[in-house]
Copies of this chain bind each other. A is one copy, B any other.
């Protein structure tokens, strides 16, 4: 059984390695975990003994298959709780992480089974991030920024890049959130501004920066 701390490390390693694609170095992990590099060295040794990571000193750490499954399990629980907090308890986006970071460590398969059912088996969390299934399978849909899609595209908002308060407030104001249907109606060649229609109702112009940071689903 992994401790809360070990689970948090695994999750960080998973994310920093981009799902296991590249090794993670000690300082990056120390920064992510807000601990001293020395503490990271210690913890990596522990995780290595538990076969959760592959590790050769000075070479960085790679998550193992076993570790990846565990990490995805925690990520699943994290995201399911987020859905609950937003859908049922009306949490704001910026209040989510602090609580989900705690709730994700609750040990009870039954709880998550029932919670998942209660929420209608959601596939994406409130940020548009996909929820892994019980086996750690991620059905990652491609997400493309508006800026990279052709005029005429009509699709669903599945995520945003970054999460600055001012950007989220802007989205709120113009009426865009996860699940909103957008259509790209025009693109200004001179600066990349885009006209979009929101939910088939009103049409607004968004800046190139905004177009870069709103992600639409491929289908």
Interface string of A85-121 (1 = CB under 8 A from B): 1001111000100110011001110110011001000
Main secondary structure of the interface of A (DSSP, over half): helix
Residue of B nearest to A90 (CB): B114
Q: Which of A157-210 contact B (CB under 8 A)?
A: none
Residue in contact with A106 in the complex, picked from B88, B95, B103, B114, CB distance below 8 Å:
B103
What's the minimum C-beta distance from A32 to chain B, rounded to whole angstroms? 21
Give the copy number: 2
List chain B residues, Cβ under 8 A from A107.
Answer: 102
Task: State the CA gap A205–B166 with chains docked (Å).
Answer: 66
Residue of B nearest to A89 (CB): B114
Given A88-B118, A118-B89, A102 contacting B108 (CB threshold 8 A): yes
What's the minimum C-beta distance from A68 to chain B, rounded to whole angstroms? 25
Known: A88-B118, A90-B114; 16 extra A-B contacts, CB below 8 A, are A85-B111, A89-B111, A89-B114, A89-B115, A89-B118, A91-B110, A91-B114, A95-B110, A98-B108, A99-B106, A99-B108, A99-B110, A99-B111, A102-B106, A102-B107, A102-B108
